[in-house]
Amino acid sequence: MSRLHTESHSVHRVGWLRAAVLGANDGLVSTASLIVGVAASAASTGEILTAGTAGLVAGAMSMAAGEYVSVSSQSDTEAADLARESLELKEQPAFELEELAATFVDRGVTQETALDVARQLTAHDALGAHAREELGISDMTTARPLQAALTSAVTFAVGASLPLAVVLLVPASALLITVTISTLIFLALLGAFGARAGGAPMLRGCLRVTFWGAVAMAVTAIVGMMFGAVV
């Protein structure tokens, strides 16, 4: 008796996962860096909170707008390519059939088998077959501007709220070191989550995210101490 072999893959998450990790990481790093930089200039807790809150709002809006514009450009390119491919399928069906078959031959399939597969796929869904095999466009990887924008904005705000919460809970005298340490912990957890959700090694994700977050905060702290004033 045959049994179905089911496999679990993570590629279907790539659209929202990329935007989520980018948004949360940017929210954490940029807001924590801002807080550390302002705190290093001997600012008051109220001034630090004001700067951090402004950074949260501005950053979330900027992330949403940037993601929407960039992913929309990708979506427009995909739509243009699909429209061109659809026209070519109507005007040059024989050439397009050979072109589709050639993609399978390049992967090691015999010419006869490749043509047979190409005919069957063309009869089933010609445009879909060419989108996948020729253009690399599929339902799992297609651009979704609104999803990317909303995911980035929400995760940025969540990430940015973590160092702000620390500012509310910790005395001003211990703010610099506490925000730095807690943010590094948050970044490590974010790296682990992103790697786990994407099916990648967790340690590598932790180290990568934590290292660059530490660099960003260190540079901002140095700038804050050099100027010695809220900017």
Assign 3-class secondary structure to 50-77.
HHHHHHHHHHHHHHHHHHHHHHHHHHHH
Q: What's the pLDDT at 71?
A: 83
Q: What's the pLDDT at 61?
A: 92
Q: What's the pLDDT at 231?
A: 41
Q: What's the pLDDT at 1?
A: 44
Q: What's the pLDDT at 57?
A: 93
- What is the domain partition of the chain in residue ranges? 30-227
Q: What's the pLDDT at 175?
A: 85
Which of 22, 59, 31, 18 shows the shortest CA–CA distance to 160? 31
Distances (CA, A) of 221 to 35, 52, 65: 9, 14, 28
Q: What's the pLDDT at 11?
A: 44
Successive 10-residue mean pLDDT values, the chain, 231 residues: 47 59 85 84 85 92 88 85 89 89 88 89 88 76 78 90 91 85 88 75 82 80 64 41
Q: What's the pLDDT at 141?
A: 61
Q: What's the pLDDT at 2?
A: 46
Q: What's the pLDDT at 164?
A: 93
